[in-house]
C-alpha cells in the first residue's frame, strides 16, 4: 500500500492512495461494515504500532455512491471507524493537492454520515463544510466517580460529543495526564449511566473547554477521541458540535466567526449557517501539511505485520 501522511494543525492523517482494500460498491455505511468484517487488518496495520501510533487517523479513498461527489472516504483510527473527521478531510484535500489531483473548485466528498465539501485556498489552507450538526441535549449532569458531578451538553458534529466547561485545570499540554484522566472518567460514567446520543449511540468523544491562551481566539479545547488519544488539532467534528451548542444557546450568530484553539495551541476558524430543520452547517478553515509519502511493507514473517494489538 502507498500512503501519504499529513498533519492538520498537528493531528496526523494517513491516506491510502494505492492498493487499499476493495470494498465494492453501495452505500458507504455498508462498505464500512465490509471494511470492519473483512479487512480490519488493514486498519490495524496502518494505525497501530510499529507502523503507526495511537493518534493517527487513516483515510481510505473510494468511489462515491452518490455520483454528485468527487470521492468517497472512510476514516478509521486505533479503535475502529469514524463517522466523519474534520481534520482528516482537510488532510485528504491537502494530500490530493500534493498529488496534483485536487479539483480546482469545490470538492464534494461522501462520508458514511453524509456529504461534506472541501475547498483549497492554496496547498495548505483548506475550508470544509461539515455534515449538519445539532445540540441533542443541553446541561446534562453526570456523576463521575472520583470527580463529582460534571455538567455538559451532548451534540452531534459528525461524531457524538459530550462538551463540558468543567475542566479540572487549564487546557495546556503540561496538564495532559489530568485532562486525559478526567475525559476518560467522564466517558466511562456516560457508559455506566447509559447516557447516549440520539438512537442510543455511544458518545465516544469527550471535549473539555477552557479559556484561550491567545487574545484573538474564543476558546481552547481538549478532545479525547475513541481509542484514548487526544486530538492535537481543535477537532473539526468537535468544533462543529461546539458551534451547534453555542447556536442553540443563542451565544453565536450565523456568520459570526469562532476561533477554536487546541490543547497544543493550533486553531480552526469556524462559522455556521442554519438549515431549515434546526441544524447548522459549520464551515471551518485550517492548515494541513504533507509530511511523508510511504510504501507500507508487510513481511509475511513479521509477527507484528498487522500491528501490536
Binding site for ligand PYC (CB under 6 A): 11, 57, 82, 85-87, 159, 225, 231, 233, 235-237
- Which lies closer to ligand PYC via its Cβ, residue 124 or residue 237? 237
Residue from 69, 85, 135, 225 carrying the catalytic annotation: 85
- CA–CA dist 101, 104 (Å, integer): 9
Torsion of CA 210, 213, 219, 220, to 10 degrees: -60
Residue 25 or residue 87: which is nearer to ligand PYC going by CB? Answer: 87
- Bridge partner list, 76: 58, 81
Specify whether 291 is catalytic. no
Picking from 51, 48, 43, the residue whose alpha carbon sits closest to that of residue 20 is 43
CB of 224 to ligand PYC, least distance (A): 10
**Could you give the CA distance from residue 231 to residue 238 in angstroms, rounded to a whole number?**
10
- 235 is known as an active-site residue: yes
Report the nearest approach of ligand PYC to the CB of residue 206 (Å).
Answer: 12
Q: How far is the CB of 113 from ligand PYC (least distance, A)?
A: 11
Question: Which three cell numbers, joined as nine digits, stand for 221?
Answer: 479545547
Min CB(3)–ligand PYC separation in Å: 17
- Residue 158 near residue 131 (C-beta atoms within 8 A): yes
Nearer to ligand PYC, 85 or 304 (CB): 85
Query: What do you get for the CA distance between the two ends of the chain, in Å?
Result: 20
Using CB atoms within 10 A of its CB, is residue 278 exposed (0-12), middle (13-18) or buried (19+)? exposed
Q: How far is the CB of 302 from ligand PYC (least distance, A)?
A: 28
CB of 24 or CB of 80, closer to ligand PYC: 80
Q: In angstroms, what is the minimal distance from the CB of 111 to ligand PYC?
A: 11
DSSP per residue, 133-181: BEEEEEEEEEEETTTEEEEEEEEESSSEEEEES--SS-S-GGGHHHHHH
* Residue 3 CA neighbour count, 13 Å, CB half: 26
Output 31 or 87, the one with its CB closest to ligand PYC.
Answer: 87
C-beta atoms surrounding 304 within 10 Å: 15
Q: Which is nearer to ligand PYC, 85 or 118 (CB)?
A: 85
For residue 238, how many C-alpha atoms fall within 13 Å in the half-sphere facing its CB?
32
In angstroms, what CA-CA distances link 217 with 9, 80, 267?
Answer: 15, 32, 8
Q: Tell me if the bond preceding 50 is cis, omega within 30° of 0.
A: yes
Q: What residues are labeled active site?
A: 85, 235
Amino acid at each position: 500500500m502507498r500512503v501519504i501522511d499529513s498533519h492538520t494543525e498537528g493531528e496526523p492523517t494517513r491516506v491510502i492512495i494505492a492498493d487499499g482494500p476493495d470494498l465494492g460498491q453501495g452505500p458507504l455505511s455498508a462498505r464500512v461494515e465490509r471494511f470492519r468484517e473483512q479487512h480490519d487488518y488493514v486498519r490495524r496495520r496502518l494505525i497501530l504500532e510499529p507502523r503507526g501510533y495511537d493518534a493517527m487517523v487513516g483515510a481510505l479513498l473510494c468511489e462515491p455512491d452518490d455520483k454528485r461527489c468527487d470521492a468517497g472516504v472512510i476514516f478509521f483510527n486505533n479503535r475502529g471507524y469514524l463517522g466523519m473527521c474534520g481534520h482528516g478531510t482537510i488532510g485528504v484535500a491537502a494530500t490530493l493537492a500534493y498529488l496534483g489531483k485536487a479539483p480546482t473548485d469545490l470538492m464534494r466528498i461522501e462520508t458514511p454520515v453524509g456529504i461534506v465539501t472541501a475547498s483549497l485556498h492554496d496547498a495548505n489552507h483548506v475550508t470544509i463544510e461539515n455534515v449538519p450538526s445539532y445540540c441533542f441535549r443541553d446541561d446534562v449532569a453526570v456523576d463521575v466517580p472520583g470527580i463529582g458531578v460534571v455538567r455538559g451538553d451532548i451534540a452531534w458534529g459528525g461524531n457524538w460529543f459530550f462538551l463540558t466547561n468543567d475542566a479540572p485545570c487549564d487546557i495546556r499540554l503540561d496538564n495532559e495526564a489530568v485532562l486525559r484522566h478526567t475525559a476518560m472518567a467522564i466517558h466511562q460514567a456516560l457508559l455506566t449511566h447509559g447516557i447516549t446520543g440520539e438512537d442510543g449511540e455511544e458518545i465516544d468523544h469527550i471535549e473539555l473547554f477552557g479559556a484561550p491562551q491567545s487574545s484573538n481566539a474564543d476558546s481552547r479545547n481538549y478532545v479525547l477521541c475513541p481509542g484514548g488519544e487526544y486530538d492535537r488539532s481543535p477537532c473539526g467534528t468537535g468544533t462543529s458540535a461546539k458551534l451547534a451548542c453555542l447556536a442553540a444557546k443563542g451565544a453565536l450568530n450565523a456568520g459570526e466567526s469562532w476561533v477554536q484553539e487546541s490543547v497544543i495551541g493550533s486553531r480552526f476558524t469556524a462559522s455556521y449557517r442554519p438549515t431549515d430543520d434546526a441544524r447548522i452547517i459549520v464551515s471551518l478553515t485550517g492548515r494541513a501539511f504533507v509530511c511523508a509519502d510511504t510504501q507500507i511493507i508487510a513481511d509475511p514473517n513479521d509477527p507484528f505485520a498487522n500491528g501490536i494489538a
